[in-house]
Structure 1
Amino acid sequence: MSDGATPLGEKTTVRETTPDLAPTDCARKLLAAVRADDSPDPYLERLAAYDEAALEPLRSDPDLALAFWSNCYNAGTQLLLSRRPELYESPLRFFRFFRATAVTVAGTDLSLDAIEHGIVRGSRTKYGLGYLPRLLAGRFERRYRLADPDPRVHFALNCGAASCPAIRAYEADRIDEQLDRATRAYLDATVDHDPEAGVVTVPKLFRWYRGDFGGGSGIRDLLREYGAIPDDASPRLRHRDWDWSRAAGKFAD
């Protein structure tokens, strides 16, 4: 067993398994249970049972919030893939899978879209290339959305596709270092620079969320920062096709 999780089939109560467990620890242990194929149910129940007072630190500490919501998202993805795989395989994946309840936090059902675009990206729609706001945000989203989203989160969130980045467990006191590592690893694996042609091929998420990175110039700045292109290069951007093949369990070593 791993991280105190309980094997499938054994009954346990939230109080017995998760006494006084902080929300951030609960989200991390949930992800660990999913990875170890232990029962996630005690942690899911604990997340659902928190009141908003318990979540208050997430509103004032962006590092705490980013670690918490990233772990919730990645655990929620894996749970949906294992428990409701037909949603991912559906031709209507973008409605059925990404809008299905992935986790419940403080009594509020949250989909992957709600976590990513409503909270982590600070209420930005997924259809506006990163430039348009997400309309009709609910009270929970308004309370917990990040005021200054970190674009590196795109290299931390795994939606179940083969082209997604690997899954890591994020911790508030190490989040900057961990996001740096995740970003560098993903760019090393997916970016190809052809200096003779003056072209750099990048993952399609750079097109989908162009505005999150500050447009073309911001994308090139990020590529230079992480050594994907030389400091003096300014290549044209070409976007690699996204492989939507279902790829559950893509955890980093």
Structure 2
Amino acid sequence: MADGAATAAPAGGDRPPTTVAADLLVATKRREDPDPFLGTLSGYGHDDLAPLRTDRGRALAFWINLYNAGTQLLLERRPETYDSPLRFVRFFRAEALAVAGTGLGLDAIEHGILRGGRSKYGLGYLPRLPWPFERRYRVDRDPRVHFALNCGAESCPPIRAYDPDRIDDQLDVATASYLAGTVDHDPAAGVVRLPRLFLWYRGDFGGRSGVRRVLREYDAIPADADPEFRYRSWDWSRAAGKFA
């Protein structure tokens, strides 16, 4: 998907869902009218979305791009929900967009679909009670997704447009880039300071041992290091438009 590909789209299934999702994200970046793309997404039928149930790359790219576009739409159209003391209810559960006529919030996309039906609570170990739409489209968990999703906070990773054909390479780049900027290893003290995502979603990474594997795989700590984990505070300052 080229950055210049965003064009008005007719409602219905005339264009591939992954293309429309990517073009919606570009429209939010450029602050162009997103409504033609939102109408197309809402107008799809489940038959139009069938490839998302069998093609992992398409599913990941589609839902990641929609999540990040949905964040930008909410920050622009309903910023008061983010600034509310009840942010975790009002912002993350607010309808961000609709797919196949079903209204979806950020929680539904992230926890119900991209995390394969896991609760946002319980450090990544607890299941989420799914509703039928989530059950239909949920994907197997890939912890690298956490480094691709932007919920509007300053501490979130930057936003990129994801391509089904390059999804694994892109997720590797996003993970390596985010860890390079947020992990601080002090070998003398035997301590590594980590982004709080590793605490909130520890179960997604396979527990503490899984977190260590990820840190070693992406050269955030040496292969023979076994440091104590400490977690950085999360900066919830609103940061709209944080594109890579």
Match of 1:227 in 2: 219
CA contact (8 A) 2:13 2:44 kept: no
Instruction: Give the drift of 1:2.
Output: 4.0
Structure 1 gap ranges (5+): 7-12
Alignment CA distance shift 1:234-1:142 (3 Å): same
The reply on whether 1:140 has 2:142 as its aligned counterpart is no
Give the Cα separation in 2 of the matches to 1:139 and 1:126: 18
- Give the TM-score normalised by the residue count of structure 1: 0.93
Q: For 1:42-80, what per-residue CA distance to the aligned partner results, in whole angstroms no more than 9, with x for missing partners?
A: 000000000000000000011110000000000000000
1:30 to 24, 31, 37: 24
CA contact (8 A) 1:81 1:160 kept: yes
The reply on whether 1:217 has 2:213 as its aligned counterpart is no
The reply on whether 1:74 has 2:76 as its aligned counterpart is no
Match of 1:169 in 2: 161
Within 5 Å, give how 1:181-220 maps onto structure 2. 181-220=173-212
Instruction: Give the drift of 1:14.
Output: 2.5
Consecutive aligned runs of 4 or more in structure 1 exceeding 4 Å deviation: none
The reply on whether 1:126 has 2:128 as its aligned counterpart is no
Give the Cα separation in 2 of the matches to 1:79 and 1:139: 25
Aligned residues: 242
Give the Cα separation in 2 of the matches to 1:210 and 1:19: 38
Give the Cα separation in 2 of the matches to 1:48 and 1:4: 17
Within 5 Å, give how 1:38-77 maps onto structure 2. 38-77=32-71
Match of 1:14 in 2: 10
Q: Residue 144 of structure 1 aligns to which amino acid in structure 2?
A: Y
Give the Cα separation in 2 of the matches to 1:219 and 1:90: 32
Supply the RMSD in Å over aligned alpha carbons: 1.3
Instruction: Give the drift of 1:19.
Output: 7.3
Q: Residue 37 of structure 1 aligns to which amino acid in structure 2?
A: R
CA contact (8 A) 1:3 1:33 kept: no
Q: Residue 232 of structure 1 aligns to which amino acid in structure 2?
A: D
Give the Cα separation in 1 of the matches to 2:114 and 2:95: 16
Instruction: Give the drift of 1:103.
Output: 1.2
Give the Cα separation in 2 of the matches to 1:70 and 1:33: 15
Instruction: Give the drift of 1:32.
Output: 0.6
Instruction: Give the drift of 1:3.
Output: 2.4
CA contact (8 A) 1:2 1:33 kept: no
Q: Residue 228 of structure 1 aligns to which amino acid in structure 2?
A: A
Give the Cα separation in 1 of the matches to 2:4 and 2:61: 20
2:243 to 240, 246, 251: 251
Instruction: Give the drift of 1:143.
Output: 0.5
